[in-house]
């Protein structure tokens, strides 16, 4: 090829080729790769699913038993409809209460996992397995509960708008220089890869 000098065997990069350096955080650690962050998030989703199941399955069982007793039904006497039985208003109110309780339990579990666990060590279970850690962009600052709460708030808000959660997670693919997601940008954090 014109302009390229290749090794004698003809394989490999041209002589004098130097790959681009890996991006590093201000602290000197390598920035986490997209694939590592994705795998960590999938592990975290599985852990959150199991933790939620422990708390929510009993709630669902009690709610279903309670709600079935309040289903509106018709009462017939000698083939004639005498009137509805059951409590339609109570059924609807119970259903709304169930949704509220499930939402509160889910938010509480996510808060403990994504804020309290993160603020203590900078890692969730998925990040620990993948050897990742969240830290402030400014290496002289410590990761605080407030910073972790800011990350969590943006993650929750972006999950409410269809498609915005995907944009938040994929943002790191084109973000320069810190490979931040939108929740990282808002909280001024980045995710680093710990040394093996």
DSSP 24: B
Q: Tell me the residue range of the domain where 42 lies.
A: 30-193
Is residue 37 domain-resident?
yes
Write out the H or E segment, with its range, that includes residue 160: helix 145-160
What does the pLDDT look like over 148-168, one tens digit per residue? 999 999 999 999 999 999 999
Is residue 23 domain-resident?
no
**Cα angle, residue 188 at apex, residues 179 and 115 outer, rounded to 5°:** 100
Q: What's the whole-number average pLDDT of the chain?
A: 86
Contact 124, 118 (CB under 8 A): yes
Strands ordered across the beta sheet of 30-31: 30-31, 189-193, 132-136
Is residue 132 domain-resident?
yes
Q: What share of the chain is helix, strand, coil (3-state, %, to 5)?
A: 55, 10, 35
Residues 6+ away with beta carbon under 8 Å from 196: 131
What does the pLDDT look like over 109-141, one tens digit per residue? 999 999 999 889 999 999 999 999 999 999 899
Question: Which pLDDT belongs to residue 94?
Answer: 78
Cα separation values, 138 from 118, 142, 179, 188, Å = 17, 9, 15, 8
Is residue 1 domain-resident?
no
**Cα angle, residue 129 at apex, residues 56 and 192 outer, rounded to 5°:** 115
Is residue 19 domain-resident?
no
The structure tokens 């079935």 sit at 68
Residue 41, pLDDT above cutoff 90: yes
**Candidate from 16-20, 31-35, 90-94 with smallest mean pLDDT:** 16-20
Is residue 3 domain-resident?
no
pTM for the structure as a whole: 0.78
Question: Which pLDDT belongs to residue 86?
Answer: 60
Is residue 4 domain-resident?
no
Confidence band of 67 (pLDDT split at 50, 70, 90): confident
Share of the chain above pLDDT 70, in %: 81
| Mean pLDDT of all residues in 53-80 | 77
- Rounded CA-CA distance 181/22 in Å is 18
| Number of independent structural domains in the chain | 1
Is residue 2 domain-resident?
no
Query: Could you give the residue ranges of the DSSP H alpha helices within 12-144?
Result: 34-68, 88-111, 117-121, 125-129
Question: Which pLDDT belongs to residue 183?
Answer: 95
- Rounded CA-CA distance 193/40 in Å is 12
Question: Which pLDDT belongs to residue 95?
Answer: 81
Cα separation values, 105 from 58, 67, 101, 118, 155, Å = 12, 19, 6, 19, 17
Contact 124, 40 (CB under 8 A): yes
The structure tokens 């039904």 sit at 73
Question: Which pLDDT belongs to residue 68?
Answer: 74
Question: Which pLDDT belongs to residue 30?
Answer: 93
Question: Which pLDDT belongs to residue 59?
Answer: 87
């Amino acid at each position: 090829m014109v302009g390229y000098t290749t090794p004698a065997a003809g394989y490999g990069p041209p002589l004098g080729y130097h790959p681009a350096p890996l991006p590093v955080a201000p602290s000197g650690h390598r920035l986490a790769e997209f694939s590592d962050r994705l795998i960590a998030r999938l592990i975290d989703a599985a852990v959150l699913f199991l933790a939620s199941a422990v708390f929510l399955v009993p709630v669902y069982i009690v709610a279903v038993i309670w709600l079935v007793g309040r289903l509106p039904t018709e009462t017939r006497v000698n083939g004639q409809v005498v009137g509805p039985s059951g409590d339609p208003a109570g059924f609807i109110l119970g259903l709304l209460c169930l949704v509220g309780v499930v939402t509160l339990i889910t938010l509480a579990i996510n808060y403990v996992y994504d804020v309290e666990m993160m603020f203590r060590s900078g890692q969730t279970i998925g990040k620990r397995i993948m050897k990742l850690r969240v830290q402030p962009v400014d290496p002289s600052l410590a990761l605080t509960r407030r910073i972790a709460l800011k990350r969590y708030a943006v993650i929750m808000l972006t999950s409410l708008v269809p498609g915005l959660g995907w944009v938040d997670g994929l943002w790191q693919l084109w973000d320069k220089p810190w490979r931040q997601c939108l929740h990282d940008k808002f909280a001024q954090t980045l995710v680093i890869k710990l040394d093996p």
